[in-house]
Chains A and B, each alone.
Chain A
Amino acid sequence: MEGVQLNMISKDRLDRMASMEKIRMILEEVKSGRIVVLETGLTPEEEAKLIEVTMLEIDHENFVGIEVESYPQKSRGFFERLFGKTKGRLTVIGPANRLKTLDKKEDLITALVQLGEG
């Protein structure tokens, strides 16, 4: 059967991984043409690191970057800002030539996954 492979990573598995481990795993999957779904997403710092490492990996021929779909962080109160841990939200990451955002709202993301090479 032809299609695009989706790897859905659970919160438990993500919690066991270090930040750089998550980023390397995501990029390896995405560079192989797979879509990665993260149950709890990444922290903002991890998202920035993912973008940074992606830029280093772009080769301008086979890999031109990633498409990331996630919801904005929920606004937090003063004490939550001080003591709470930033939690990521459901996130979908794929190769930029396969995953395309069609529409993004606060509570609904519509994306298109292309089967062949984009």
Chain B
Amino acid sequence: MGLIVRIRKRFSFLFKWFFKKDRMKIGIYGPPNAGKTTLANRILRDWTGDVMGAVSNIPHETRRARLREGVKIEVDGKSVVLDIVDTPGLATKIDFHEFMKFNLSEEEAKRRAKEATEGVIEAIKWLDDLDGVLLVMDATEDPFTQINVTIVGNIEARGLPLLIVANKIDLPNASPARLKAAFPQHPVVPASALKGLNIDSLYKSIAERFG
């Protein structure tokens, strides 16, 4: 990487701190099926009355990044205006056979796999145009997945503010404490985007972190 590019990236968080925008572009990131679009839908429904996109239990349901501009979140007198980017799930492998387990035909599964690979690339490209990241992790799963490690590393390298959402706390085997222990250097907010559990606390953290 060129020296100038490296210096620019290294000091970008200082520039962002000094010249804080009145509107932040926030990316919702995470592995497939962590609940990114469910969270985006929850935020949009609560603050705009709209939704971001369809959700399903088949991985890689979101295969194109979606942008929703001007979402105003107000909590305890503190407000923040966000442009929210719901990104496709990041993965290091995409096997169309996995989709066939959900009763998709081979043709559909291959098409979905191809679109999913394009979606991963799109999600990575978006990282360079963001002011902050909401990283959605499934609180029922092992936090040290390669995707989580890679996303956190990239956000840290770019100096972007990060808020980790320990999602799916409505499920009995959820352990937000395990996530907090895994990434102690970043704020972690337990929540259930689906059921709306602890969602007010999440909005408060969003307003504080990105406001």
Contacts and interface: CB of A to CB of B under 8 A. Distances in A.
A76 to B, nearest CB: 8
B93 A56 contact: no
A58 B94 contact: yes
Top-6 shortest CB links A-B:
A65-B93, A44-B153, A96-B93, A55-B117, A64-B95, A104-B144
Interface string A68-100: 111111011000011100100000000011000
Contacts of A55: 94, 117-118, 120-121
B105 interface: no
Contacts of B156: 44, 73, 76, 81
Contacts of A71: 149
Contacts of A67: 92-93, 146
A4 interface: no
A45 to B, nearest CB: 6
Main SS of the interface on chain B?
A: helix
Given A19-B1, A44-B157, A51 B149 contact: no
A43 interface: yes
A13 interface: no
Contacts of A52: 120-121, 124-125
A105 B144 contact: yes
Interface residues of B, number: 36
A60 B113 contact: yes
Contact of B96 (A60, A66, A106): A60
B91 A103 contact: no
Contacts of B157: 43-45, 86
Contact of B154 (A47, A65, A68, A105): A47
A106 B124 contact: no
B146 A68 contact: yes
A47 B150 contact: yes
14 contacts: A44-B154, A45-B154, A55-B120, A56-B117, A58-B117, A60-B96, A60-B113, A60-B114, A66-B92, A72-B183, A73-B152, A73-B153, A101-B146, A104-B142
Nearest to A69: B146
Interface string B49-60: 000000000000
B93 A66 contact: yes
B203 to A, nearest CB: 27
Given A47-B153, A51-B91, A64-B93, 13 more contacts: A43-B153, A44-B154, A45-B1, A48-B127, A48-B150, A51-B92, A52-B125, A56-B121, A60-B110, A64-B95, A67-B93, A67-B146, A68-B92
Interface string B77-90: 00000000000001
B145 interface: yes
Interface string A13-47: 00000010000000000000000000000011101
